[in-house]
């Protein structure tokens, strides 16, 4: 009986299944052919961008504390809001950990009530913002380091980079913000940021790339205005010195004019040069630059000052607008790797002296003398066989700003060798195109076809555009000199403009091969070049030489003493190494002092003379 009941149940279930299947088939057949129901996709709503404003005060400048107040307003805030501090600033390729100077951090709501917050990593802070539409963050930044990439506040002035001072709301780098400055006493303000109409000392940035690209100088500085191609330029100088501000403005205008001739326009409404007459260096920005130069160097080293101005100014085209692949939009919380710093920085280093020479501020012979010195410095660096230009560019984040005593042996500078290789590349393009094209055309093409069309460029682009202007393949040039470690063939390029490199060797004398510095009464070994007698026979960097063959050592005495020796002679160096006295016996090598000069070839032909005139604007003599 039980078996019959089970079979009956199974049969009923089977009938039901068949019936449901037929109903489904009929329903499918009744659907209109060729039409499918489009699923509804519900997009996740994006958070409303916040409104951000800052106030920077300096109520007690002698404490070196810049006081920051950051206001954040948002229609609907998340439960947790996160703000961050950049770890580097564009143009200076090193993680500098600006958050280490932050102190006295606090957060409160619009009514002044304290909010809970947590520091989640080295440069990120998380604030409890549930249910709020506004919060205020306050903090101080210790500012007592005057470089073009850091901050300084004292009783004389304030200089700062916004990337080293102002935090940003995570995920909102594209929003605008305003910055109000409360200067100390009667101090004046200089910056490239535009003012907000109707608000005293308040400036606006359309996004964080522009905010972080606009340094401030606040103090009792001197300034001068001048016009180039209808655009206003301002030169601001903080500090005393032997400079002539009128002459600086006049010569700077000539440099700007030469850049205009290359690109056919000045891509800004106005431009501000900020100079601190102390220290040295420069950092480029879209419509401004920060410069430092020794207050008493404007007479004896005025050409060096002009090339510094020209370098940082040319960056407003090359780097700030003509951008290598990874340099913008920026990641402010980590490294931005590129193989193109030899173009971005080395190419700009090349044009710094080109602009100054074209402006008539140095002669063709002075220009070539500087190039010869650069050739010599590179040839005396063993690291030229170890690191390519692309490798040096890529590793800038860990090497260039942190050289050690072995850097001379395993590294090159993408500035120095980059300048030389761009010079040789310019000559190659001019020669191959019979003078029809030059590196100017490469820069102009990058400006028009990449910057103006919103595109960065790659290493492949730079080679391809150079080849386009040359009218031939330059793969061997780039393979050997950019991606490789080959010795540079200077004369193959120089000959095209009727020049050659001349190396004169002086009388051979005893050669040690260590680079020495005199610090007071101490004679220290700063580095030892690979392959030299000192390197091969055990003299180390950081050794302190106290005697040579029993005679008290000084830099002047050692140079004189070795000058009387010859290859094969032995000397005994008495040194302190880690406070332990040692004697090192070294068999000297032989080397004559080398003098590098770029001179005309013996009988330049008409084509070489014409090429020289095209390059320098004057005749070959």
pLDDT tens digits, one per residue of 182-196: 999 999 999 999 999
CATH number listed for the domain at residues 505-595: 2.30.42.10
Structure tokens at 515: 């680079």
Measured over all CA atoms, what is the biggest interatomic distance in the chain, rounded to whole angstroms?
A: 127
Nearest to 363 by CA among 587, 621, 559: 621
User: Please, are residues 260 and 229 in contact by the beta-carbon 8 Å criterion?
Assistant: yes
Peptide bond into 78 cis (omega under 30): no
Task: Supply the pTM of this predicted model.
Answer: 0.90
Does 52 score more than 70 pLDDT?
yes
Pick from 58, 48, 332, 50: which is nearest to 180 by CA? 58
CA angle 261, 262, 265 (to 5 degrees): 65
Residue 30: per-residue pLDDT: 45
Boundaries of every domain in the chain:
51-220, 226-301, 317-498+601-621, 505-595
DSSP 55-66: EEE-S-GGGTEE
pLDDT > 90: percent of the chain: 91
400 in Cβ contact with 416 (< 8 Å)? no
Residues 349-402: tens digit of each pLDDT: 999 999 999 999 999 999 999 999 999 999 999 999 999 999 999 999 999 999
Q: Considering the domain 317-498+601-621 in this protein, what is its CATH number?
A: 1.10.390.10
Fold entry, domain 51-220: Immunoglobulin-like (2.60.40)
Q: Do domains 51-220 and 317-498+601-621 have the same CATH topology?
A: no
Confidence label for 45 from pLDDT (cuts 50, 70 and 90):
low
Give Cα 504 to chain centroid, integer Å: 36
Contact 476, 527 (CB under 8 A): no
Please give the average per-residue pLDDT across 290-314, as a whole number: 97
Q: If you average pLDDT over residues 602-611, what whole number do you get?
A: 97
Q: Tell me, what's the pLDDT at 47?
A: 77
> Is the pLDDT confidence value at 36 over 80?
no
pLDDT in tens, 225-259: 999 999 999 999 999 999 999 999 999 999 999 99
Residue 27 has pLDDT above 50, yes or no: no
pLDDT of 21: 44
DSSP letters, 525-552, are EEEE-TTSHHHHTT--TT-EEEEETTEE
3-state class of 279 per DSSP?
Answer: coil
Phi, psi angle pair for 354, to nearest 5°: -60, -50
């Amino acid at each position: 009986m039980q078996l019959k009941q089970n079979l009956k149940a199974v049969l009923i279930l089977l009938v039901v299944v068949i019936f449901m299947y037929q109903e489904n088939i009929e329903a499918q057949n009744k659907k209109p052919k060729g039409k499918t129901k489009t699923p509804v996709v519900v997009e996740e709503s994006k958070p409303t961008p916040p409104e951000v404003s800052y106030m920077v005060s300096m109520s007690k400048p002698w404490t070196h504390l810049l006081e920051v107040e950051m206001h954040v307003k948002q229609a609907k805030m998340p439960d947790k809001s996160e703000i961050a501090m950049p770890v580097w600033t564009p143009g200076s390729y090193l993680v500098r950990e600006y958050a280490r100077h932050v102190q006295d951090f606090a957060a409160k709501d619009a009514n002044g009530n304290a909010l809970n917050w947590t520091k989640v990593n080295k440069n990120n802070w998380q604030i409890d913002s549930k249910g709020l539409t506004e919060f205020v963050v306050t903090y101080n930044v210790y500012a007592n380091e005057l470089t073009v990439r850091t901050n300084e506040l004292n009783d004389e002035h304030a200089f700062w980079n916004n990337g080293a001072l102002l935090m940003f709301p995570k995920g909102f780098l594209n929003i605008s913000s305003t910055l109000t400055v409360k200067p100390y006493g009667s101090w004046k303000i200089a910056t490239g940021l535009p003012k907000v109409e109707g608000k005293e000392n308040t400036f606006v940035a359309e996004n964080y790339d522009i905010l972080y690209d606009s340094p401030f100088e606040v103090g009792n500085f001197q300034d001068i205005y001048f016009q180039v191609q209808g655009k206003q330029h301002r030169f601001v100088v903080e500090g005393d010195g032997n400079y002539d501000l009128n002459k600086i403005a006049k010569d700077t205008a000539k440099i700007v004019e030469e850049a205009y001739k290359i690109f056919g326009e000045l891509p800004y409404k106005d431009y501000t040069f900020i100079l601190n007459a102390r220290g040295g260096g420069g950092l480029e920005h879209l419509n401004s630059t920060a410069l430092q130069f020794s207050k008493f160097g404007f007479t004896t080293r005025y050409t060096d000052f002009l090339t510094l101005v020209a370098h940082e100014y040319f960056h407003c085209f090359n780097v700030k607008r003509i951008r290598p692949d990874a340099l913008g939009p920026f990641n402010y919380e980590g490294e931005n790797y590129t193989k193109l710093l030899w173009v971005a920085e080395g190419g700009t280093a090349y044009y710094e002296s080109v602009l100054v020479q074209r402006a008539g501020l140095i002669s063709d012979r002075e220009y070539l003398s500087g190039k010869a010195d650069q050739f010599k410095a590179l040839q005396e660096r063993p690291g030229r066989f170890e690191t390519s230009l692309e490798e040096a560019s890529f590793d800038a984040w860990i090497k260039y700003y942190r050289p050690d005593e072995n850097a001379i042996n395993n590294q090159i500078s993408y500035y120095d060798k980059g300048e030389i290789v761009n010079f040789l590349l310019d000559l190659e393009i001019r020669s191959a195109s019979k003078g029809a094209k030059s590196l100017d055309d490469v820069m102009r093409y990058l400006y028009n076809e990449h910057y103006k069309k919103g595109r960065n460029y790659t290493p492949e682009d730079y080679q391809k555009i150079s080849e386009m202007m040359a009218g031939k393949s330059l793969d061997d040039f780039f393979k050997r000199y950019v991606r490789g470690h080959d010795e540079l063939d200077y004369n193959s390029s120089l000959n095209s403009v009727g020049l050659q490199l001349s190396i004169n060797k002086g009388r051979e004398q005893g050669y040690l091969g260590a680079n020495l510095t005199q610090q007071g009464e101490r004679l220290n070994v700063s580095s030892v070049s690979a392959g030299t007698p000192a390197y091969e026979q055990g003299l180390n960097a950081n050794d302190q030489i106290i005697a040579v063959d029993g005679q008290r050592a000084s830099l002047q005495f050692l140079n004189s003493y070795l000058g009387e020796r010859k290859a094969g002679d032995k000397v005994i160096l008495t040194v302190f190494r880690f406070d332990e006295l040692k004697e090192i016996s070294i068999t000297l090598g032989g080397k004559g002092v080398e003098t590098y000069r770029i001179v005309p070839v013996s009988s330049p032909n008409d084509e070489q003379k014409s090429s020289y005139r095209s390059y320098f604007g004057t005749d070959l003599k």
